[in-house]
Amino acid sequence: MKMKNIFPEINEIADERLQEKVIKSLEKAIAKGGWNEEDLQMIPFTLLIPGLIEGDNLAPKITIVEHIRAVTQMCIATYDRYENLGLGDKLNRDELIAGGLLHDVGKFIEYEKDESGRIIQKIEGKLIRHPAMGLELVYEFELPILVRQAIVFHSKEGDTIPRLPEVEIIHRCDFLCYAPIKQIFDSSN
């Protein structure tokens, strides 16, 4: 599986060593989850919006890959706006992008396919959740602290700690790619 084809935003990371760590993290997560490239089109970005999957068609309207890419693209656009404001040098662009790409890496091991082919949350996912599972998964790659904080504190788990500025951007982009979508699907049911 070519991660740069699935997640072309990897190419936006200038630091080749960080690029490689991101690729290895994604490869490990997808392999450990038991997914193949075709499966990636069947994994919803969340299980908290029932309307993402309609009827017997198991393909979600928004996949985990589409969500990760959208969050990362929004992070890049936000960085560009900050750069236009003269604040680009206050942010680490490469680590912001890496954090965007890896913020939901734990979902590849939090979810599994049941006997009918539906995507469900594993028992471990209910007890630990994807942020902690993701951090544990990528530990061996010695990612920068900013990227590790993005993985473990991009979601509600980070609401009680001071997020780094880049992680705050990832957190808000993630919720912009969740909360309004949930409202849209909830109102259409």
**Model confidence pLDDT, tens digit, residues 13-45:** 999 999 999 999 999 999 999 999 999 999 999
For the stretch 62-86, pLDDT in tens is: 999 999 999 999 999 999 999 999 9
- Stronger pLDDT, 118 or 56, i.e. the higher one: 118
Q: Which residues, 6 or more positions from 142, have their beta carbon under 8 angstroms from its beta carbon?
A: 21
* Chain mean pLDDT for the chain: 95
Domain boundaries, the chain: 16-187
Mean pLDDT throughout 146-166? 94
What pLDDT does 181 receive? 95
pLDDT at 122: 96
Which range, of 14-23, 52-61, 118-127, averages the lowest pLDDT? 52-61
Residue 154 reports pLDDT greater than 70: yes
What are the CA-CA distances from residue 189 to residues 51, 67, 186 (Å)?
A: 8, 22, 6
Averaged pLDDT, 4-20: 98
Alpha-carbon distance of 107 to 116, in angstroms, equals: 20
pLDDT at 56 over 70: no
Distance CA 171, CA 14 (A): 22
Q: Where residue 53 falls among pLDDT bands split at 50, 70, 90?
A: confident
Looking at the chain, the whole-number percentage of residues with pLDDT higher than 90 is 88
DSSP 120: E
Query: Is the model more confident about 79 or about 159?
Result: 79
Q: Distance (Å, rounded) from C-alpha 163 to C-alpha 187?
A: 32
- Mean pLDDT lowest among 30-44, 46-60, 91-105: 46-60
Give the separation between CA 80 and CA 70, rounded to whole angstroms. 15
Give residue 137's pLDDT.
96
CATH of range 16-187; options 1.10.3470, 1.10.10, 1.10.3210, 3.40.190: 1.10.3210
Record the pTM: 0.96
pLDDT of 99 strictly over 70: yes
